Structure 1
Amino acid sequence: MNTHGRTTTPARRTLLRGAALGAAAPVLSGTAAADTGQAAEGRTRATDSVTYRWLGTSGWRIDIRRAQGQEKRPATATVLVDPYVTRFATGLFTGAFDPTTRLRTDKPLARRHAGTSEVICVTHTHWDHLNDVPFLARATGARVIGTETTYHVLRSFGVDAAQLVVVKGGEVLDFDGYVVEVASSRHSRNASYSYFAPGTLTAPPATAPRTVADLPEGDTLAFKVTPDGAPSALFMGASDFDERSFAGLAPDVAMLAVASTESTYRYVPRLLAALDRPGVVVPVHWDDFERPLSEPPRKDGTALDDFVARVREASPASRLVVPDYATEYGADLRPRGSAH
């Protein structure tokens, strides 16, 4: 592919894995040492060129600093994944789930956390992933990448069709300063091997969804984002996956959804093997997403500890990063200071 006067090769970018994520290198002398010093300086610039902020659940804000030289474009591209920040109570975490809970968006809060987004990736159409996307798409003009169901739901909310990109998995989309690769995935399973609000849409609903039950899953995707010259990152929105679709993705960093049941056979070891055991693993979708982002994520009573233990057993060389809401992370997922 060649756009914007550059050539991008996602497969080649995975060669950055060891260097950009801080793998050990031998001590050299003379010219070799000078070359290594230059390479280390390049790696530092790479990790400084991208920042990540966890928005809770499976949501992320990615800020990518573009290379200098083209003055008619913003210096930084902001990419969002599943930006659900309004966080209202449905009773899900208290055992009194109410599927008729009304959808609503805290617009100032959504804008503050999302910034001026250029692209929004939606893994699936449940409320804890899509709820704030209609407002953000209309407010920022961002391009939204998602399933056909996501397309039809957003059209019902008045989002311009020209902003919407329908994908199925397998697409590799070349943007200015980064590549977005789409993989077919699967939704999490509960203890009964099912999940809430399955189904897909083949046309916009007659009226825009009003309650959490009005938003069907609509198939599930995962996204691999590779900024120019920096490590790649995979984003999951649910704790199941298509093993064959994930094979070959080999992300440097993987934001992996934590499973709360044992319904999916050997979920963690199979997932890590399919992804070629990423250098950094970041567990997501384990927090109570009905508590505000102004409070720290609640870890008690979640499946986080079990997930961490299984990752360490299946991929002991992977560095585990348990994220929090208030930290800005560099491209290697090391903290860069407070984001709020």
Structure 2
Amino acid sequence: MSARPLDRRRFLRTTAAGAAVVTAGGLATGTPAQAAPTAAAGRARQGAVSFRWWGTSGWRIDIGDRTVLVDPYLSRYDTGLFRGAFDPATPLTVDTAVVDSLVDRASTVLVTHTHWDHYNDVPHIAKKTGARVFGTLTAYHLGLAYGLPASQLSPVKGGEVLDFGDHTVEVVSSLHSRNAGWSMAFPGVRVSQPTRPATIADLPEGDTLAYQVRVDGGPSVFFMGASDFAERNLTGLAPDVAMVALQSTTATADYVPRLMAALDHPKVVVPVHWDNFETPLANPPVVGPADRRRLDDLVAAVRRASPRTRVLVPEYGTAYHF
């Protein structure tokens, strides 16, 4: 197998005016943090929609003059996970310089689950932008622990279809990935407000959700934060685009064939949660040999199970239009 066999097609990439600028030190200031600029102003034109991958399962979606974030984890600090020396007592930290350079605004934050690589930066972003945070009851109670007001937190369970005018968000009850022992890191929920979390172990999975965003006059896009799902909960979604999380083990049977069938074979699949999320946001994304093989296998499995589906392996910060 070659070192870089993946199809990194540019078929959905923006033109030069809207594409992200990347430097060796990470994402250039401005471009990924703002909607694709017009000649007159640095804000998205009314009706324009762009999607930018922020690593792990994180996304920035600019819909006209609104910004929706999914699992925005930008601090990306070292826990030892990718060095074989994982430390559950790693202190929770927020790299405010990085986060603030990329998050200039947000109206909504969608949280799939509350592990640190999904939730770590959410309270800071919510305080900075005033964004409303949607997530499980665990996400709600953790938000209170971080000092967010209850009026800014919206607990959801799955089945809700939320109307934001120019787009809707459908909440889907989902499942977290399973490790080689058919379990997961930091299981558990928060049924009441805890003390403020201090280490990554203080952020449990807290149940898992997925989301489908339907843009008025635009695409329907499905977002996963972990590589498992309940087939019956996906019936009828039929998204145009599916952001599909990489499997780290084979504990979930027939993952890709069942997922493609349940989603009615999306036009486009975008693999996520395959990068080393403890390295800076700089292209090309860092991926270890084992995860590279798993990513290759995921791409091949999608093509076998859904031959008409196009696979896009994303780069950080680049604006895609579906």
In structure 1, the residue matched to 2:38 is none
Other structure's SS at 1:109 match: helix
In structure 1, the residue matched to 2:244 is 256
In structure 1, the residue matched to 2:311 is 320
In structure 2, the residue matched to 1:215 is 203
Cα distance in 2 for residues equivalent to 1:286 and 1:265:
19
Kindly report the root-mean-square deviation, in angstroms, between the aligned alpha carbons of the 2 structures.
1.6
TM superposition shift of 1:48: 7.2
In structure 2, the residue matched to 1:7 is none
Give a deviation string over 1:65-124, Cα, whole Å, max 9, x none. Answer: 1xxxxxxxxxx1000000000000000011100000001111131122222000000000
- Is residue 282 of structure 2 the alignment partner of residue 294 of structure 1? yes
- Is residue 152 of structure 2 the alignment partner of residue 163 of structure 1? yes
Cα distance in 2 for residues equivalent to 1:156 and 1:323:
34
Cα distance in 2 for residues equivalent to 1:245 and 1:208:
33
Other structure's SS at 2:307 match: coil
In structure 1, the residue matched to 2:265 is 277
1:1-340 matched pairs, under 5 angstroms: 49-65=48-64, 76-205=65-194, 207-301=195-289, 302=291, 303-330=294-321, 332=322
| Gap regions ≥5 residues in structure 1 | 1-20, 22-45, 66-75, 333-340
Alpha carbons 1:50, 1:62 under 8 Å: kept: yes
Query: What amino acid sits opposite 2:307 in the alignment?
Result: P
Other structure's SS at 1:202 match: coil
TM-score, scaled relative to structure 1: 0.79
Other structure's SS at 1:93 match: helix
Q: Give the stretch that moved more between structures: 113-122 or 53-62.
A: 113-122
TM superposition shift of 1:299: 3.4
Query: What amino acid sits opposite 2:61 in the alignment?
Result: I
Cα distance in 2 for residues equivalent to 1:49 and 1:312:
30
TM superposition shift of 1:240: 0.2
Query: What amino acid sits opposite 1:313 in the alignment?
Result: R
Other structure's SS at 1:313 match: helix
**Structure 1 47/312 Cα, relative in aligned 2: closer, same or farther at 3 Å?**
farther
Alpha carbons 1:182, 1:224 under 8 Å: kept: yes
Cα distance in 1 for residues equivalent to 2:288 and 2:87:
23
Cα distance in 1 for residues equivalent to 2:97 and 2:66:
21
TM superposition shift of 1:295: 4.7
Tell which structure's C-alpha radius of gyration is larger: 1
Cα distance in 1 for residues equivalent to 2:313 and 2:153:
32
Q: Give the stretch that moved more between structures: 122-131 or 176-185.
A: 176-185
TM superposition shift of 1:47: 12
Alpha carbons 2:55, 2:272 under 8 Å: kept: yes
- Identify the structure with the greater helix proportion: 1
Give a deviation string over 1:15-36, Cα, whole Å, max 9, x none. Answer: xxxxxx9xxxxxxxxxxxxxxx
In structure 1, the residue matched to 2:41 is none
Cα distance in 1 for residues equivalent to 2:97 and 2:152:
22
Alpha carbons 2:54, 2:60 under 8 Å: kept: yes
Other structure's SS at 1:173 match: strand
Give a deviation string over 1:259-288, Cα, whole Å, max 9, x none. Answer: 011100100000010000000000000110
Query: What amino acid sits opposite 1:319 in the alignment?
Result: R
TM-score, scaled relative to structure 2: 0.84
Alpha carbons 1:83, 1:114 under 8 Å: kept: no
Cα distance in 2 for residues equivalent to 1:47 and 1:247:
32
What percent of counterpart residues are identical?
59
Cα distance in 2 for residues equivalent to 1:277 and 1:295:
29
Q: Aligned pairs, how many?
A: 277
